[in-house]
Amino acid sequence: MTDHSQLFIGGEWVAPSGKETIEVISPWTEEVIASVPAGTPEDVDRAVAAARGALKSGPWSTMTLGERISIVERLRDLMLENAEELAQITTAEMGCPISQSRAIQVPNPVGILQAYVDTIKTYPFEEVRRSANGQALVVREPVGVVAGVVPWNVPLSLTMQKLIPALLTGCTIVLKPSPETPLDSYVVARLLQEAGCPPGVVSIVPADRDVSEYLISHPGVNKVTFTGSSVAGRRIAEICGKDLRRVTLELGGKSAAVVLDDADLGIVAEALRMGSFRNNGQICTLKTRILVPSKRRDDLIDHLNAMLDTMPIGDPSADATQVGPLVSARQRSVVEGFIESGRAEGGKIVRGGGRPDIDHGWFVEPTIFADVDPDATIAQREIFGPVVAVMSYESEEEAVAIANSTTYGLSGAVFSGDPLRGVRVARQLETGAVEVNGNPAGFLSPMGGVKYSGLGREFGKEGIDPFIEFKSIGIPAETAATLD
């Protein structure tokens, strides 16, 4: 890895205003692998000023949608050309197994980018609306300067979720990557330059929490888009609420997989390989509560154990590895605290619960709890590690009640031999998305949560709207006729 001495502000590489740095530590070797400058409030001021300048003047303010699409498509092509570099960096900085970085951490961001391009081509930036008391030209304009705050678990995907709709709608954006994973953002900055993104449109400022709050509350920022914990999201909502600043929040989850009595347990276990344990358990949509009929509990646990037997733990850069280390020593400590809580509250560990026999790296064994009370801490709070809770139920109604019993509502799953029955149960779950028999909704469908899992949606046309301000222009009937 390379130490970086500059920040990407206003489309240029510039010296930081401060002298502090952020050290990037390998979750595998536990050694420093790179460093980047720690952004300061002064750096944020420069980035926001550049974004406001590009919004109001220069080539960005006059570019057509087609021209913006061309820049984004060029970025897509460059990401594909540099896919291996991006995959290797992601694995090095946060511990995702390289096989998953190659299959998920880079292809998904490219898929997100392409889905937004496909959506924007038919997005109604202007339309005429008529009513009994008037007619209007309804126009959709860029919301302005966007602050995008990106977490460490899938950094490139979440960067694209914020960057691409901002660019396509004509906004400008200041990205704040996580201190744990800033290195991929340096590649993105380089590729944006190669793609021809005009100066000022994108700035990237790695920083700690205090500077992040400074960015979020900056008077020059019109909208905040954040992905992260529900605790942090509530704090951001509080800050934005004071100034009525637009905000989109994609927050934590405690998603349930409802296994119905007619489900094929082989299909269930294989779906939960990635559905519960990918990225070392560090994904907000993972199904960490597995609800199963009492009479099928033992069979399901056998299937899960057999599946985990085929997921080697170890060096995340090795092709065979399917479970790597957690992102940091702190995160491992948090996960181990939840495991102890599960034991103390009566949960039965049927697999894992400790650290593997590896002499370095922030590992936690994939862990299965059984006989977990639905009100237990590990059934109610997001763990963000390779830990699942198996809970038994007696009726379909009880399963739905347990699934809906947390303060979260981000994702979910239903498994059934009858997909239509699965859809019927899915409709009863209080969550933003549900997968039936492991089938994802895709990047053209809105994603987001209810309850403490967030505000707003990303993906699809619903993911474009938060970057838009609506304006209604009352016009004469004869003018409306010329605009149809």
Residue whose structure tokens are 């980018």: 113
Contact present, 48 and 145 (Cβ < 8 Å): yes
CA distance 13 to 203: 10
Which of 284, 336, 382, 458 is an active site residue?
Answer: 284
CA distance 349 to 280: 18
* 398 assigned to active site: no
Per the document, the length of the chain is 484
CA distance 210 to 375: 34
* 250 assigned to active site: yes
Contact present, 196 and 59 (Cβ < 8 Å): no
Alpha carbon separation from 247 to 244, 376, 449, 456 (Å, rounded): 9, 32, 14, 8
User: What letter represents residue 11's amino acid?
Assistant: G
Two tokens at 93? 């900085």
Which of 96, 197, 240, 250 is an active site residue?
Answer: 250
- Sign of the C-alpha dihedral, residues 293, 297, 301, 302? negative
CA distance 67 to 452: 38
Q: Which amino acids are annotated catalytic? A: 250, 284
